[in-house]
A = this chain, B = another copy of it.
């Protein structure tokens, strides 16, 4: 971690991810270029190619890292996982969009796919007691918190701003409306 970086940077991959993360969160994904990341890491514009085969690979690594951040957040959230999920999205809107925006196909990036799977496992594990229905209950829970987070991000719940207690209170009330039950039955 010395600043006296010579010809060899030392940990350019990590530095690039950090720079890319800053760029993403502050300027949005459109501003996230390999060249700018390199610039911010203080390195020539094609040094990144030693660490990422192309731009998409950098995006995929960033998305994977973001899933890991989400998983950590969910773990810290304990029983309030739904709230934690929504909060993560609101705190890191650009990362959230990168993770789910369809720009990086997880099919061709195993590490990304794997980190996504791990985060989901955390959610899923809290429905074990439902037995056979656990899969569906977990899918419903994920859908619910994911949709809520996404729609809040897009500003589709303008009401949420006015809520006393703010967006978080709104989210809590919305999540509070939902029961996950055993015997399937149509609802919406």
Residues of A at the B interface (CB closer than 8 Å) are 80-82, 93, 97, 100-102, 106-107, 116, 120, 123, 126, 133, 135-137, 139-148, 150-151, 153-157, 159, 170, 173-181, 184-188
Contact = CB atoms under 8 A, between A and B. Distances in A.
Q: What secondary structure prevails in chain A residues at the interface with B?
A: helix
Given A139-B174, A140-B174, A174-B139, A179 B185 contact: yes
A169 B159 CA distance: 33
Given A106-B155, A147-B148, A140 B177 contact: yes
Contacts of A151: 139, 142-143, 146
B187 A178 contact: yes
Contacts of A102: 93, 97, 101, 153-154
Contacts of A147: 142-148, 150
Q: In the assembly, how many copies of this chain are there? A: 2
Contacts of A188: 81-82, 123, 126, 141, 144-145, 175, 178, 180
A185 B174 CA distance: 10
Contact of A177 (B156, B177, B184): B184
Contacts of A135: 159
Given A97-B102, A106-B154, A157-B139, A133 B177 contact: yes
Contacts of A145: 143, 147, 188
A99 B176 CA distance: 27
B179 A136 contact: no
Q: Which of A133, A136, A146, A177 has the most CB of B within 10 A?
A: A177
